[in-house]
A = this chain, B = another copy of it.
Amino acid sequence: MKFNIIKKNFLEGLNTVSKIIVQNTVNESQKGIKIELYKDKMILKGSDSMVFMEYSLAAFDEDKEIITIIEEGQAVVPTNYFLDIIRKAPTEIIEIESNNQTIKIKSGKSEFNIQGYDIDEYPDFPIIDKSNKFNMNTKVFNDIIRETLFCTAVNDQRPILEGVNVILENKFLTATSTDSHRLSKRRLLLENIDESQNFNIIIPRKSLQSIQKIIENTDEDLEIYYEENRIVFVYRNIIYSAILISGKYPNTEKLVPSIFECTVVANSKEMYYAVDRVALVSKDEKNDIVKLAINDGIVNLYAYSKELGTAEEEFFAETYNEEGKFEIAVSAKFLKEAISAINSENVIVKFSGELTAFIIQPSDYHRDIIEVLLPVRTY
């Protein structure tokens, strides 16, 4: 393999692929980035066994030559070390040549001869089945990730809770996550989809984090292919495929209460910051509990820590509570994260009882999103 390449373009590809590579893998060569050089393009590959990423770079971008391909071939380069060398290369054009497992990198008067990994040990990449497909805007998909990822379980005994359940049914896409203390559910209608397209999959948290890094701050088209045990995202010149979590996601419909005894409509920011301040007292405690007392147009917040002292807050809100004062104790962290996920000017909080789950929704119903939280049973 032998080629010259423009540093900037090479670096962008290496940076993108490097983000998904882990160094604590059993297969040595999987610690590296695989460079495949063909007669008119380069493909950079990276994998952590569960996810596979391919980054294509054409030799020519319109009329400009990005890669001068001198000899086709392949190499697997040590990720971080190779990236450092390219990043610090002093010239715009970098010359790369590989011979067996030795890779020569030249940039001006700077020359490195480094050890690559064994190409034969590098894992095969999956062949993608393109029969089931739909498109989505990256911004919309990024929102769905933002709204659900934070509610996935971490190190749970049930691995299915460590992903987001995504269901496509009757043109509606529903994304649900729960860590069994709270739940987040976002629904949206996909206009341009065939009614016969249906699936029910669980996408691992880690894969969603990776795809989030790739599409963040973009507003473009994302192609999504789904197979029984795999989901594939195609964004620009990047192919990203992830193995799905197998198993049956629990039915979460029954966790959403439908009868309410107290409702609050509050300004999101005001409520968020009030909880945030009061929680200063309780944040070091195990459960970081905040107590809410709802009373005729006023919400009072209390927190207490044996070591630090007490905190009180009060803010005005529309309250609907026929039975008089309503009190509930909640996790400040969960409450803050739910308000953030809702991301609207005002939130509706509907309580069904002092010891039962309650819901949070945007007051304008602009997006079909619902947060369910369990109260804390002791204060």
Contacts and interface: CB of A to CB of B under 8 A. Distances in A.
Given A88-B280, A313-B110, A115 B274 contact: no
Interface of A: 78, 81, 84-85, 88-90, 102, 109-115, 273-274, 276-278, 280-281, 307-315
B81 A312 contact: no
A307 B312 CA distance: 60
16 contacts: A84-B280, A85-B277, A88-B273, A88-B280, A89-B277, A109-B313, A110-B278, A110-B311, A110-B313, A112-B280, A112-B281, A112-B312, A113-B310, A114-B281, A114-B310, A115-B309
A313 B109 CA distance: 6
Quickly give the copy total for this chain.
2
B274 A315 contact: no
Contacts of A114: 281, 308-310
A280 to B, nearest CB: 5
A314 B107 CA distance: 11
Contact of A309 (B112, B307, B312, B313): B112
A115 B312 contact: no
Given A88-B273, A280-B84, A111 B311 contact: yes
Give the top 6 A-B pairs by smallest Cβ distance, nearest first: A114-B309, A109-B314, A111-B312, A113-B310, A112-B311, A88-B277
A310 to B, nearest CB: 5
A112 to B, nearest CB: 5
Contacts of A278: 110
A276 B88 CA distance: 8
A276 B276 CA distance: 45
